[in-house]
Structure formats: C-alpha cells, structure tokens
Structure 1
Amino acid sequence: MSEIESRINGLVETLMEDYSKDRVIDEIKLFEHPDKEAVVDILEKLRKIIYPGYFRNKSYKIYTVRNNISMLLEDVIYNLSKQIALVLKYEPQFSGLSAEEISIKAEGLTFDFLDKIPKIREYIETDVQAFFDGDPAAYNTDEIIFSYPGIYAILTNRIAHELFLLGVPLIPRIMTEHAHSVTGIDIHPGTTIGKYFFIDHGTGIVIGETSVIGDNVKIYQGVTLGALSTRGGQSLRNKKRHPTIKDNVTIYSGASILGGDTVVGKNVVIGGNAFITTSVPDGAKVSVKSQELHYNYNSSHPVECKELDPEETWYYMI
C-alpha cells in the first residue's frame, strides 16, 4: 500500500469515527432528504411554463407550445411529487402515514400547486409591467424577463409562496434561497406580495417571513423589512414579526423598517437609510435629516456649496 493510500485510509477511519457521535450533522439519510439540485431544476422548468415563449426547452427538436408544456408538466409532476413526498416526513402530522399514503398526499399537493400557475402568471405580468414603467433604463420587457435579478427573485417568491401556503415544508425555502444566492435578494416564501411589485437593483434586500406588501410598491437596494428582535427564537414562530407595507409605497436604498406592529400607510415615501420602528401615516414622506458635509479643497479651485431644498431630494433615481 502506498503512503497516499495509507493516509487516505487513515482519514476515512477518522471521519467514520467522527460520524458516529449522533449529532445533527452526523445524520446520514441520503434517500430521505430532498435533492436541492432537483428542486432548482423544477424551479427552472416552472419558469419555462410561466414564460412559454421565452425559455425554450432545448431537449426537444420538434417544438410546439402544447407539446412542450405537456412534457414540462409531466416532468414537474413526477419530480415535484417525489420531492414533496420526501419533505412531508418533516411534518409530525404525516409521520404515521404509509409510503403509499405519503405519495398520494404529495401528488395531490403537486396538482393543487399547479392549479395556481394562472394566478402566478397574472401577478408576474403586473410585475413585469411595473419594472418597465418604473425603470427608464429598461428598453423593453424582454430585457426585464431575461436579465433583471429583481423579476427573477419575485417570480421565485411567487412560486414558493404558493407551495408555502399549501403547507409544503422546506422546498419553498430551498427555492427562495437559491434565488437569494443568484440575485442577492432575500425574500422569505411566507411573504405576502401584491401586484405591480418593483425591485430596482435589488442587491442586499431582505424581506422577512410575515411581511405583507400591497400593490404598486417600489423597493430599492439594501432595504430591510425585518423583525425588531429575534432573541425569542422559536417562541416567536407564527407571530407577526415583520412590517406591513400598504399600496403605492416607495422605499429608497438602505432603509430599514422593522416590527410586526409597524404599518407603512398608502402613498408613503421612505427616504434612503431611514430606520423605522413605528407606523407611518398615509401620504407621509420620511427622511433622515441631512448630514453635515465637510469639503477639503484647494483655494485655487473653490467648491460652491449649495443648500439643498428637501423637496428636491425626495424623488431620486439610481
């Protein structure tokens, strides 16, 4: 036996001994846990179903919309049912069911979810329109669907949210965390979002589980809709911890709005870097008082300093 083989065997023995300590990280149930790659693949196939004319299924040379959707649906039904059957075992109410009963339940949940696709498409159509109407840098809606991270994150959330409402464990979170890793936008699948939702730029946005967002809401990068405190840990589960944002609200970059009792009223504008923990009445404009700026400059090249009109600083685009 070579030195390398000997060292490998030694490492294997060390790891096998380490795996025997009965910790959470030691659990080995390869065929009882969901397959993250399979869930992401399901998500991408659902995107093709939702945008039938944008993301072609290259597996098939003869292409009609009907045949393509039929094949995609069969694939999703089979694989999503399989993944749901695996995760249902995480829920105590299903622990006593037989494998056949679990399979039947998973298939039923899969069809219940697929029945929601027209609703998802109705909402995502309004989101695409909101992106186009709200972003002068968007030249057409194709650009938004193909390339904007915000629309990808929102679509993923709308898919995951319907599974979340059906009580499907784990899979919705896998989907939204995949979108988070791709886009930098972290939206919990429990978040309720109205129509015409627009995320501009998006990086660093965090939206918590119990957030409720109305129609025609616009959010910029770095915004947090979070909880005031998570010190209570699991005791806070199923409690309203995150804010409610009503219709026609704009929240500029870096703002943090926290707390389950915090309600931002209709037609409110929240300025950049604001930190809000109490409710805001309808129509208000909330801003951070202007910081004092110091200019160091050469006397031969003077800098003109001008007082800003607060009203002029509200509606800025990036």
Structure 2
Amino acid sequence: MAIDFRRKSVLASITSQVIDTYSSDAASITHLGQEPLPSLEVCLSILSDLKEILFPGYRRRQNLSLVNAPYYVGDLIDSLHDRLADQFARAFRYQSQAGRTVGQEPVPADFAALGQDHAIRFLSALPHLRRLLATDAQAAYDGDPAASGIDEIVFCYPGFEAVTVHRLAHQLYGQKVPLVPRIFSEWAHSQTGIDIHPGASIGPSFFIDHGTGVVIGETCEIAAHVKIYQGVTLGALSFDKDADGNLVRGTKRHPTIEDHVAIYANATVLGGRTVVGAYSVIGASASVTRSVPRNTVVTIEKPLLRFREAA
C-alpha cells in the first residue's frame, strides 16, 4: 500500500499542539531562548577521549610508544581542554540562570574563565585517577579466578568500565561542576547496568564482580579493598521530608562500607547511619539496615528446598 500524501495535512496540527506544550503544561522540560546547555554528544566524545588517555593502546590508537605517546596524548589533552572548558562554562551558566550557586559563593559572570579553571583542574587529576584505576584493575584480577589478566579486565569487565567512569564523574562532582557528572554516570549505567551516583566516595582497589543491577547511592562511603557482586544495593533507608513535605536534601542517606568488606549477590545495605565494619562479609540476599561490627559474617537462614517427583 502506497503512502497517501493527502493524510500529511494533519501534521501541521500535530506540530502546533506540540509547540503549545513548550509554553504550557510541559514547559518545565523545555529549554528555549536561553544559553545552550551542555551537549550530550560532546560530553560523550569527551568521555571517549578521556578513556583513550587513561588506557593507552587499548582503544582507538594502536602502536603507541613512549616516543610517540607525548604527541598523541598532548593533542588529545589540548582538544579536551577546549571542549571541557566550553561544556563546563555552559553548565555553570545554566546553574546561574536556574538561581543556583557554586558551593556557598555566587557564580561569577565570566563563565568562560570559570569553565577553563575547572577544565585544567580536572585534567590535572588524570595522573591520580590512572593510579587509582590501576588498583581497581589489580583488585579485579586478584578477586576473579576467571580473569586471564589485567588486559582482559580493561577490555571486557563491565564493573571496571563503570568504576572508570565513576572515578571521572566523582572528580567533577567534587569540583561542583553541574550536570556533566550525571551525564557521564548515566551513560555508564546504560552501558553496564551498574548505577553509581557520582557523589559516592570509593576508595582504592574496588571491584564489582559481574555487576548487573548494582546500585550505589550518592552519599555512600566505600573504603579500600571492597568487593561487591551483582544485584547489590547500597541505598537509603528512607527519605526525610521538611515541614512542607519536600524531600530534605544534602544529608547522609547511604551506608558506610569499611576496608576489606565483601558483599555478595542481591544483598541490600540501607541507611546513612549504617556502617559495615572492616573485614566483614554480607551474604547473598541479606538485608542490612543497622551497623555490622568488624569481622562479622551476616547471612540469612537457608530456605528449605522441597523435592517431589515430576508428574
């Protein structure tokens, strides 16, 4: 059956109805006549180039050496500086227009200079982030007998991919850059099934095994040498509200996980006052809502299995 072009006459009416929503009941999700927001496409291209620098030889450019790497990486960093400065300036301008501030200080008017300051600060953190990621890769290799080596982890492990993006997003979160950290972290969430809020504080040698379904909340604090499995939630127990019924923000809502803790599949640890002590183990499917002393194993009673002959 051929397209009947006469029916396209209705499209003008549909367009008009859509445009009407831009200034009425759906105006809150409309950004018109203002300075541009950060670009999703540019932010993701930045993320790709950052990983090219963090893991040289693993991604686009092959045959790098200590002789030619300075030229290649230098060119990437120069390009990243310009794009980061622009995207950060857009983010801070958005923040100012929305009536927000950076920390406790008013946002200055020179957004280009502010964007450049934060771009240079962020790029200066890359050597430190590489050292952190090397501990994460080693933790994955030490914690998974199926791993053939560090190369396989960098290439293939979704947990390591999610932690890589989180390290970058957390740096930006600490710099109070608006929007961009969440763009990074939600891209990683969509790619790996692992949801780590950029505000979560995570120490070195962190390993997420398998990973699908892991959720780590904004105010979670994770120390060194922690290992968690798929389906683990480190979340909030409840959300406090003020006298007007609005959610109270900026409080500690998520748990603290101390050194050398292992949390097995589908376990849930909830609450800002909940602390899992060092060298403890949280067994599969356990639900923890109060603090756990160090050197403690938490498990649930095994359900009884019933076997019967099939009909």
Tell me, in whole angstroms, the C-alpha distance in 2 between the residues paired with 1:254 and 1:260.
19
The one-letter amino acid of 1:150's match is G
Tell me, in whole angstroms, the C-alpha distance in 2 between the residues paired with 1:54 and 1:258.
37
Q: Partner of 1:16 in structure 2?
A: 19
For the structure 1 residues 242 and 234, does the alpha-carbon distance in structure 2 shift closer, same or farther, using more than 3 Å as the test?
farther
The one-letter amino acid of 2:57's match is G
Q: Partner of 2:138 in structure 1?
A: 129
Answer yes or no: is the 8 Å Cα contact 2:233–2:267 preserved in 1: yes
The answer to whether residue 273 in structure 2 is matched with residue 261 in structure 1 is yes
2:101 is aligned, of 93, 97, 102, to 93
Answer yes or no: is the 8 Å Cα contact 2:239–2:248 preserved in 1: yes
Q: Partner of 1:189 in structure 2?
A: 198
Shift of 1:230: 2.4
Tell me, in whole angstroms, the C-alpha distance in 2 between the residues paired with 1:42 and 1:212.
27
1:249 is aligned, of 246, 249, 261, to 261
Shift of 1:74: 1.3
SS state at 1:32 partner:
coil
Tell me, in whole angstroms, the C-alpha distance in 2 between the residues paired with 1:29 and 1:139.
54
1:214 is aligned, of 213, 218, 223, to 223
SS state at 1:110 partner:
helix
Tell me, in whole angstroms, the C-alpha distance in 2 between the residues paired with 1:283 and 1:54.
39
How does the TM-score come out when normalised to structure 1? Answer: 0.87
Answer yes or no: is the 8 Å Cα contact 2:81–2:120 preserved in 1: yes
Q: What value does the CA root-mean-square deviation take over the aligned residues?
A: 2.2
Tell me, in whole angstroms, the C-alpha distance in 1 between the residues paired with 2:83 and 2:156.
27
Counterparts of 1:1-318 in structure 2, within 5 Å, are 2-21=5-24, 23-29=27-33, 32-57=36-61, 64-89=68-93, 90-91=95-96, 92-93=100-101, 97-98=108-109, 101-230=110-239, 232=241, 235-297=247-309
Tell me, in whole angstroms, the C-alpha distance in 2 between the residues paired with 1:97 and 1:262.
39
The one-letter amino acid of 2:39's match is D
Shift of 1:96: 6.4
Tell me, in whole angstroms, the C-alpha distance in 2 between the residues paired with 1:71 and 1:283.
49
Shift of 1:77: 0.7
Ranges in structure 1 where 5+ consecutive residues have no aligned partner? 300-318
Greater alpha carbon shift after TM alignment, 235-244 vs 279-288: 235-244
For the structure 1 residues 266 and 96, does the alpha-carbon distance in structure 2 shift closer, same or farther, using more than 3 Å as the test?
closer
Tell me, in whole angstroms, the C-alpha distance in 2 between the residues paired with 1:96 and 1:239.
23
Answer yes or no: is the 8 Å Cα contact 2:214–2:231 preserved in 1: yes
Tell me, in whole angstroms, the C-alpha distance in 2 between the residues paired with 1:235 and 1:162.
26
For the structure 1 residues 73 and 261, does the alpha-carbon distance in structure 2 shift closer, same or farther, using more than 3 Å as the test?
same
The one-letter amino acid of 1:264's match is V
Shift of 1:129: 0.3
Q: Partner of 1:311 in structure 2?
A: none
Answer yes or no: is the 8 Å Cα contact 2:53–2:73 preserved in 1: yes
Ranges in structure 2 where 5+ consecutive residues have no aligned partner? none
SS state at 1:73 partner:
helix
The one-letter amino acid of 1:15's match is V
The one-letter amino acid of 1:297's match is E
For the structure 1 residues 47 and 297, does the alpha-carbon distance in structure 2 shift closer, same or farther, using more than 3 Å as the test?
same
Answer yes or no: is the 8 Å Cα contact 2:239–2:247 preserved in 1: no
Query: 1:119-162: per-residue Cα shift (whole Å, max 9, x none)?
Result: 10111000000011111111111111011100000010000101
Identity between Structure 1 and Structure 2 (%): 42
Greater alpha carbon shift after TM alignment, 156-165 vs 19-28: 19-28
- The aligned length equals 294
Answer yes or no: is the 8 Å Cα contact 2:219–2:255 preserved in 1: yes
Tell me, in whole angstroms, the C-alpha distance in 2 between the residues paired with 1:234 and 1:284.
38
Shift of 1:234: 5.6
SS state at 2:23 partner:
helix
